């Protein structure tokens, strides 16, 4: 079986937010527009959709299969895994615990995990976890190759905590935003500790039972289609592997139906859990809230969350009086066009051009976005370009000029700077820079291995709780931080080196067996082991 995993919202990926478009009302009714969309895109959507206006259902439909292998059709009662929409539920539980005095948003991680050796545990607060501003590395997306070795198997809390502690950090606490599943895994454990209840029990008592969400809960593996659960499959029809719910918990372990999701969201936005909770959830920093984020369709403003896991894709968004919920289990990639169709916004057709195989090859490579913490690989078969974000389905890309490509279905545009080995992606009114993998773009000159052997070795930092290995490979001096990709070092002085694309400088003190690393205006001392 093919593996496709996505808990998060990598803005370059298919489960991402929707870009702005021209707001031009179409003459058809809402139902006619959506029916027309499905008619024009046959077999592209397998799942269920429900749309409400002022809290009343005006459109509901199910298409495709709950289980393709067994030929079981999808219905509006089919239960789908909802991925990162779980984070919205987890956020509500966190605020309810705060209201009850069981925790404070300003509490540091060290209060809950004093012996876990989590980096920066004294500085990282509960609120930073909610906002994706902790700086902790994402044990799913940042360590994806390792993640693939265990994600289908039940994991203990001790196993996950050990991985989190060893993963290290990406940046100083609260210095910027970077989507991070690790934060919501930790929130799940915190909630269990302060309430004395398992996460599933707490979810049932605080949200599921009070709202009578009869088709919502924590997923179980293996998925059983005979009990009304959907199994996911790829665009090629292959049944996909299943993430064990013990891995993500409050970051992405839930299942639900469109009706239950709408019932929950209506309760949240109408103040059922308290107006203060909803207001705090939509208090945005860096265009992101606590368990929610904004979305703009032309001049129509919306708020909600999306999710993706193992080929499941889910959307839960409110635009004025219209609330949209849909779940898909076939790696659906036209979410943006479907939302635009619901809102009566014209789907713009992009103008494409034809390029030669040689011209297409210039776009190829593996690129990393530091802001989002994801890789995107661009490949070509000689006539067609494809993009694929970490752990997600591939999607086609079409040239719009000799240095730009895009895909209207996911509203992404990529403008390439070939000279500096990078591209800028535009999506949802935001821009993100992706830099080509260091291994592919290294312009380091061959070096004298004997001359630079004195710098090689493993260096550790108490501040960052990580090691950096310096070594020589193919006559190039290389460095590699724990669990990350290696990168080349170019000499700037006899004892100083840099990795320009990563903004990294290293200065070695051979006599005292030390190395000073500078990045993003910060300076850290590493001691040779």
CA distance 376 to 500: 20
Burial class (CB in 10 A: 0-12, 13-18, 19+), 294: middle
The long-range contacts involving 32-35, CB below 8 angstroms and separated by at least 24 positions, are 33/341, 33/342, 33/344, 34/59, 34/61, 34/338, 34/341, 34/342, 35/61
Residue 288's pLDDT is 93
Q: Are residues 57 and 201 in the same domain?
A: yes
Select from 230, 168, 70 the least CA-distant residue to 464.
Answer: 168
Q: Are residues 47 and 146 in the same domain?
A: yes
CA distance 235 to 199: 33
Q: Are residues 161 and 255 in the same domain?
A: yes
**Peptide bond between residue 222 and the one before it cis (omega within 30 degrees of 0):** yes
Q: Are residues 191 and 275 in the same domain?
A: yes
Q: Which of 418, 436, 454 is the last residue of a domain?
A: 436
CA distance 241 to 472: 38
- 501, 488 contact by CB (below 8 A): no
Residue 409's pLDDT is 65
Q: How far is CA 166 from the centre of its chain?
A: 20
Return the CATH number at 144.
Answer: 3.40.710.10
Q: Are residues 80 and 181 in the same domain?
A: yes
- 68, 231 contact by CB (below 8 A): yes
Q: Are residues 134 and 223 in the same domain?
A: yes
Residue 520's pLDDT is 61
Q: Are residues 307 and 454 in the same domain?
A: no
Q: Are residues 98 and 192 in the same domain?
A: yes
Q: Are residues 338 and 397 in the same domain?
A: no
Q: Which of 343, 371, 403 is the last residue of a domain?
A: 343
Domain count, the chain: 3
Return the CATH number at 512.
Answer: 2.40.128.50
Q: Are residues 277 and 228 in the same domain?
A: yes
Decide if 8 is inside a domain.
no
Decide if 287 is inside a domain.
yes
Predicted model pTM:
0.70
Cross-strand bridge partners of residue 434: 423
Residue 491's pLDDT is 83
Q: Are residues 450 and 431 in the same domain?
A: no
Ramachandran class of 199: left when φ > 0, alpha when ψ lies in -120 to 50, beta otherwise: alpha
Decide if 216 is inside a domain.
yes
Decide if 374 is inside a domain.
yes
Q: Is the dihedral of CA 399, 408, 385, 374 positive or negative?
A: positive
pLDDT along the chain (529 residues), means of 10: 38 34 58 93 93 96 94 96 97 97 97 94 97 94 83 95 93 92 98 97 98 96 93 82 95 98 97 94 94 89 94 95 95 86 80 84 88 82 82 79 83 86 81 76 49 87 83 79 74 81 81 86 85
Which runs of E-coded beta strand occur in 64-195? 65-67, 72-73, 80-81
Q: Which of 392, 410, 436 is the last residue of a domain?
A: 436
Q: In 305-317, which positions are buried (b, 16+ CB within 10 angstroms) versus exposed (e)?
A: bbbbbbbbbbbbb
Residue 474's pLDDT is 66
Decide if 173 is inside a domain.
yes
Opening angle at CA 100, ends 95 and 104, nearest 5: 55
* Domain extent for 259: 30-343
Decide if 373 is inside a domain.
yes
CA distance 527 to 460: 5
Q: Are residues 432 and 447 in the same domain?
A: no
Decide if 254 is inside a domain.
yes
**Token representation of residue 496:** 């100083």
Decide if 101 is inside a domain.
yes
Return the CATH number at 387.
Answer: 2.40.128.210
The DSSP result for 236-295, as a single string, is: T-PBBP---TTTTGGGT-EEE-HHHHHHHHHHHHTTTT-HHHHHHHT--BTTB-SS-EEE
């Amino acid at each position: 079986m093919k593996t496709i995993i996505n808990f998060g919202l990598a803005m370059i990926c298919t489960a991402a937010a929707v870009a702005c478009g021209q707001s031009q009302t179409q003459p058809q009714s809402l139902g006619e527009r959506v029916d027309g969309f499905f008619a024009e895109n046959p077999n592209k959507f397998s799942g269920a959709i429900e749309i409400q206006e002022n809290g009343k259902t005006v459109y509901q439909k199910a298409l495709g299969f709950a289980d393709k292998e067994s030929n079981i059709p999808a219905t509006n009662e089919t239960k789908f895994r909802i991925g990162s929409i779980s984070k919205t539920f987890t956020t509500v539980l966190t605020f309810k615990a705060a209201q009850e005095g069981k925790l404070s948003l300003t509490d540091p991680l060290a209060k809950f995990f004093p012996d876990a050796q989590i980096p920066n545990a004294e500085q990282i607060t509960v609120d930073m976890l909610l906002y994706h501003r902790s700086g902790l590395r994402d044990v799913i997306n940042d360590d994806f190759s390792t993640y693939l070795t265990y994600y289908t198997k039940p994991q203990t809390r001790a196993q996950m905590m050990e991985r989190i502690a060893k993963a290290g950090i990406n940046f100083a606490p609260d210095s910027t935003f970077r989507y991070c599943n690790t934060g919501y895994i930790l929130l799940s454990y915190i909630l269990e500790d302060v309430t004395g209840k398992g996460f599933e029990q707490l979810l049932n008592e605080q949200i599921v039972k009070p709202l009578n969400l009869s088709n919502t809960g924590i997923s179980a593996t293996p998925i059983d289609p005979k009990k009304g659960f959907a199994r996911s499959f790829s665009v090629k029809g292959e049944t996909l592997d299943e993430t064990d719910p013990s891995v993500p918990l409050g970051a992405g372990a839930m299942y639900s139906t469109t009706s239950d999701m709408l019932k929950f969201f209506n309760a949240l936005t109408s103040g059922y859990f308290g107006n203060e909770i909803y207001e705090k959830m939509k208090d945005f920093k860096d265009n992101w809230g606590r368990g929610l984020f904004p979305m703009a369709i032309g001049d129509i403003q919306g708020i909600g969350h999306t999710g993706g896991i193992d080929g499941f894709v889910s959307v839960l968004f409110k635009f004025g009086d219209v609330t949209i919920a849909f779940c898909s289990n076939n790696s659906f990639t036209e979410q943006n066009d479907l939302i635009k169709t619901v809102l009566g916004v014209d789907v713009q057709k992009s103008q494409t051009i034809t390029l030669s195989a040689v011209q297409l090859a210039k776009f190829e490579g593996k690129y990393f976005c530091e802001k989002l913490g994801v890789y995107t690989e661009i490949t070509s078969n000689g006539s067609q370009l494809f993009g694929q974000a970490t752990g997600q389905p591939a999607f086609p890309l079409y040239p719009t000029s000799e240095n730009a490509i895009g895909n209207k279905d996911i509203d992404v545009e990529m403008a390439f700077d070939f000279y500096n080995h990078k591209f800028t992606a535009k999506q949802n009114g935001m821009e993100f820079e992706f830099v080509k993998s260091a291994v592919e773009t290294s312009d380091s000159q061959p070096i004298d291995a004997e001359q630079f052997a004195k710098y090689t070795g493993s260096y550790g930092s108490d501040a960052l709780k990580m090691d950096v290995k310096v070594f020589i490979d193919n006559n190039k001096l290389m460095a590699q931080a724990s669990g990350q990709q290696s990168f080349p070092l170019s000499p700037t002085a006899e004892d100083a080196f840099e990795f320009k694309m990563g903004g990294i400088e290293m200065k070695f003190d051979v006599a005292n067996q030390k190395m000073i690393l500078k990045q993003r205006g910060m300076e850290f001392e590493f001691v040779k082991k």
